[in-house]
Chains A and B, each alone.
Chain A
Amino acid sequence: MSLIRLSSPHVYKANSTANVMRLVMLAMLPGILAMTVFFGWGTVIQIIWAGLLALGFEAVILKLRKRPVLFHLNDGSAIVTAMLLAVAIPPFAPWWMTLVGVFVAIVLGKHLYGGLGQNPFNPAMVAYALLLISFPVEMTRWTAPFVLNGDGWQIAPFLDTLKAIFAAADNLWYDSFTGATPLDEIRHRGGLTTEEAWRQSTVLSQGIGAWHAVSAAWLMGGIFLLYRKVITWHAPISMLLALTLCSSMFFGFDPDNYADPFFHLSTGATMLAAFFIITDPVSSATSNRGRIVFGASIGILIFIIRTWGNYPDGVAFAVLLMNLAAPFIDIYTQPRSYGHNRAKKGQGGKA
């Protein structure tokens, strides 16, 4: 009788990286749907375009690196990166910007570091930061929510959107569908108090609902991921709490100059970041305690950059900064193991 020799454990939970990635994609659906409903077809087109590019770049670079192409393509990580980038950039962003972004994310942000699991920075955020610094005008001209585009429901037609992304768009038409984001409005309000800004800006007074709805959709997806145990609560909750605390404090002292906590939580990329970006396992801190520190720091940084920084939203920079700090956090946040009196801190030599 000849039998194979295998090491324990001999059974495995039916689980795979591809499965994890599929769950993330599934969880993104409500957010994508909300963005499509409120901002038009741009998001969908960007996702498809970025997805195709990501698969293409991934395949080429895997080939160049002499890795099994299909085996790694199947893990779905490239598509998730592409999707995160696609929902982060403005829906009308021209095709070449997406191309540059995906190239940076997949090739520079991921494979130059050794591929999946090795990248120190969140690839989508690396790309986003690069685009924001390189093309600030295009990157801050967001699509106006449908409510502001005339009477009743009106979003840019699919074909026109396609044309706007892939060919030079008719400026007049294009302008009527773009506008500033609420975060932009609050930032660039001149000498107005927060309340005055709210009254004067249609984006804030009328369009804000669309942003709330999109945030709620991301939150839904996040709850789904928590429920399926794809992510743990530590990073998202600590980030949202830290952001809430910071904004409450400043809003409490000086409501004329600072936005309220709910505004911070429900606009911009807060919810997307909390559940889909800072939970990127590869580039975040390792332990549960580490993720609390990691998330909270990002929350604080987002508030700081939004309030006093030069950019309307601070998610990408906050995430990248904390990616940088993640290994450091890991060293100091080891959990206390069974049978030990206290957690070990620092690198230490012999145990």
Chain B
Amino acid sequence: MGKVFAFHGGVHPPENKKQSTRTPIAQAPLPKMLYIPLQQHIGIAANPVVNVGDRVLKGQLIAEPVGRISASLHAPTSGIVRSIGPHPVPHASGLESDCITLETDGQDEWIEHQGLQDYTRLEPSVLIEHIRQCGIAGMGGAGFPTDVKLHLGDDHIVNTLIINAAECEPYITADDMLMRERAADILSGIRIISHLLRPSHIMIGIEDNKPQAIHALEAVLKGCELNIDIRVVPTKYPSGGERQLIQLLTGLEVPSGRIPADIGIVCQNVGTATAIHRAVHFGEPLISRIVTVTGDAVAKPQNFEALIGTPFADLLEAANLYEGRLFRLVMGGPMMGVTVAHDQIPVIKTTNCIIAASDEEMPQAPPEQPCIRCNMCEQVCPVTLLPQQLYWFSKGREFDKARNHNLFDCIECGACAYVCPSSIPLVQYYRFAKSEIRTEEAEQRKADHARQRFEARQARLEREQAEKEARRKARAEEAARAQQSRKNTEAEKAQSASDSAAPAASAAPDLKQLKTAAAVARTKLKKARDAFKNAEDKGLDGIDALRATLTDLEQKSEEAEQAFKAAEQAEAAAAAEKGVDLKQLKIDAAMARAAVTKLERALTKTEDEQARREMETELVEARKKSDALNQSLSEHSPA
């Protein structure tokens, strides 16, 4: 026996466990109809593989898992599938969900099945797949598919396996009775889990209000080769919470937002261990479980081994329900369970208890009173939160503050609401705040997504616009080039057609050069003349040579001048030929037309005879000019 640690807070509600432990576990009667919800746990609903009208055998697969976190379903007994559709299910929302409805035929005929020969020789993955095929899910709390937790040995170093046998909620005795009667099965299940996870240490955490169960476990553990400790913890709610039990047994805390495997611990419930044992040794899928049926409104509170899908009504009948006394029907324990509004709701893999409570037993809470910050909630919170602060923040919709005060670490155990002298339904406020924050986050995500999509669309449109623009430009350039080449061809044609235009066109660039050459020649000639004059005056030598040079230069200058002049004339001629400037012509024509119009207008307005006559002459002149210009325009403008 190792050291048992403690956790902050906790409460001691009346246990009410004695009522249902007086008789051994009974076999629940076979109901006429079984309703098997496709979704019995977090994760994705299973996918039905049978059709309406099919006859199925006990243990036959009727729905297969979808995705990793999902569990398969099997027919709890032989019968005919009557429908697959909505039916009330055990869920806090009270909404209906898809169920496979199986009409039992009373034969209870098993499908062929057998256990694994020697699981220790199998590959772990094969063994885990077998467990997955048997639809084993955690039977303590959320019903997490067990195979996912058994894989953990691959990604984490698991040094401690904790078997949760605390069962701290009042009223519930399903695990207690299971341990008393089937301790050997539990041990066998623990062996399988231990084979897969290879922990160095196994602890069974059990509350001290279950002495017979402790005895039974101790008896089967005698001579066991595994390193198993039974750790008896003081009775206090919520010792059975996974995180609280870990703290009790190891003194360690699971970091916020992480899983126990992150600190090397895996927890399994005793019921799950039994289910694994049956799956591995007998090949039986998870088709039944132990359910405590208790409360003041039943005459014979007891535990039943009930098929998954059994309506609560059948179990209540088996426990002799006093219908008149029934006030509320709770699925689960009184601290965390949910009330159900319908007695046709079926047992699922996580249904550990049904409490048929009378009005006196669980009266309605008195009306909510103002919070006086009495601090009692803080004293009992197992997570060391500040429940009253969270309450104020939730009520005032200060969700950021609530979150900063670790709202999401709240395990909704209800201890704070249990002790609140003002009867404030604290847990409801936290659920409200959590859901509001989740909604806000979802909306934020949606808004972000929408913004991203919008931005992406904008970018796409801009890109498309730019591409369009580029294409348009390319087309325009292409067209311009085509036009240019057409023009060039036309020009060539024109060149070949008119020879007279050619020298002008080719002379044009040379004109300037010729002018320069002529000027240079003139300057040289002038310098030579000056030099000759100077020599002549002073009677220098070589005067003959100078004269010859001068004559030569004179000749050259003459030539240059002539060449320039010729070029100039050719240019002028070309200009004269080209002469008819289309634009100028257009302007002139327009002006002439305008003058005509103006004169016509003036003429209509003038009364003086003399002036009229003059104007008429003028008009005739103007018309002649305009006509001539128009004529010329029509001749020169391209067709």
Contacts and interface: CB of A to CB of B under 8 A. Distances in A.
Interface of A: 1-13, 15-17, 19-20, 71, 75, 77, 115-118, 229-230, 232, 281-282, 284, 286-288, 291, 330, 334-341, 344, 347-351
Interface residues of B, number: 78
A10 B404 contact: no
A245 to B, nearest CB: 25
Name the 7 nearest CB pairs between A and B, nearest first. Answer: A9-B414, A117-B370, A339-B256, A338-B383, A10-B334, A348-B404, A281-B373
A72 B128 CA distance: 60
B389 A339 contact: no
A351 B362 contact: no
B40 to A, nearest CB: 19
Contacts of A344: 404-406
Given A3-B328, A8-B427, A13-B13, A338 B414 contact: no
Interface in B359-415: 362, 364-367, 369-376, 378-379, 382-386, 388-389, 400-401, 403-406, 408-409, 412, 414
Given A4-B328, A8-B335, A344-B404, A282 B372 contact: yes
Given A10-B328, A286-B375, A339-B409, 14 more contacts: A7-B427, A8-B427, A9-B334, A15-B420, A17-B372, A20-B421, A71-B367, A116-B372, A338-B243, A339-B254, A339-B258, A340-B409, A344-B404, A350-B403
A232 B379 contact: yes
A232 B380 CA distance: 12
B211 interface: no
A347 B369 contact: no
A156 to B, nearest CB: 37
A5 to B, nearest CB: 5
Contacts of B371: 117
Given A9-B336, A12-B417, A338 B341 contact: no
B427 A286 contact: no
Interface string B248-264: 00000111111000000
Interface string B157-173: 00000000000001000
Nearest to A231: B375
B95 to A, nearest CB: 12
A9 B417 contact: yes
Contacts of A284: 373
22 contacts: A2-B341, A3-B326, A3-B343, A7-B339, A7-B427, A8-B334, A11-B170, A11-B335, A13-B419, A20-B421, A116-B369, A116-B372, A117-B422, A281-B375, A286-B375, A335-B378, A338-B247, A339-B255, A339-B257, A339-B258, A340-B255, A340-B409
- Of A11, A118, A347, chain B has the most CB atoms within 10 Å of the CB of A11
A286 to B, nearest CB: 6
Contacts of A232: 375, 379
Most buried by A among B170, B372, B389, B425: B372
B319 to A, nearest CB: 15
B418 interface: yes
Contacts of A340: 255-256, 406, 409
Given A4-B327, A5-B94, A282-B373, A338 B409 contact: yes
Nearest to B8: A338
Contacts of A3: 326-329, 339-343
Contacts of B365: 12
Contacts of A16: 366, 369, 421-423
B192 interface: no
Interface string B59-98: 0000000000000000000000000000000000010000
Given A337-B383, A338-B383, A347-B404, A10 B367 contact: no
Interface hub of A3, A71, A118, A286 (most chain B Cβ within 10 A): A3
Interface string B223-243: 000000000000000000001
A334 B408 CA distance: 15
B373 A117 contact: yes
B11 interface: yes
A338 B409 CA distance: 8
Of A115, A335, A349, most B-chain CB atoms within 10 Å: A335
Contacts of B367: 71
Contacts of A351: 403-404, 406, 408
Nearest to A279: B375
Contacts of A118: 370
A115 B421 CA distance: 17
Given A3-B329, A337-B384, A75 B369 contact: yes
A6 B94 CA distance: 11
Nearest to A290: B386
A10 B14 CA distance: 12
A9 B255 CA distance: 26
Interface in B9-43: 11, 13-14
A281 B427 contact: no
B338 A8 contact: yes
B401 to A, nearest CB: 7
Contacts of B334: 8-11
Given A2-B341, A288-B378, A338-B382, A17 B362 contact: no
A19 to B, nearest CB: 6
A6 B339 contact: yes
B414 A8 contact: yes
Contacts of B408: 351
A103 B256 CA distance: 49
Contacts of A5: 94, 339-341
A28 B382 CA distance: 32
Interface string B116-129: 00000000000000
Given A5-B341, A350-B400, A11 B427 contact: no
A339 B253 CA distance: 5
A8 B336 contact: yes
Contacts of B366: 16
Given A9-B414, A16-B421, A340-B406, A335 B13 contact: no
B406 to A, nearest CB: 5
A116 B423 CA distance: 15
Contacts of B341: 2-5
Interface in B274-323: 313, 323
Interface string B96-108: 0000000000000
A17 B427 CA distance: 19
Given A336-B384, A349-B400, A229 B376 contact: yes
A347 B398 CA distance: 12
Contacts of A6: 328, 339, 364
A334 B14 CA distance: 31
Nearest to B404: A348
A74 to B, nearest CB: 9
Interface in B402-448: 403-406, 408-409, 412, 414, 417-423, 425, 427-428, 431
Given A3-B326, A338-B409, A347-B404, A13 B370 contact: no
Contacts of A13: 11, 13, 418-419
A337 B406 contact: yes
A335 B340 contact: no
* Central interface residue in A10, A291, A334, A339, by most chain B CB within 10 Å: A10
B514 interface: no
A282 B392 CA distance: 13
Nearest to B413: A9
A281 B178 CA distance: 46
Nearest to B409: A337
B330 interface: yes
B337 interface: yes
Nearest to B414: A9
B403 A8 contact: no
A282 B7 CA distance: 27
Nearest to B415: A9
B270 interface: no
A347 B414 contact: no
Interface in B575-589: none
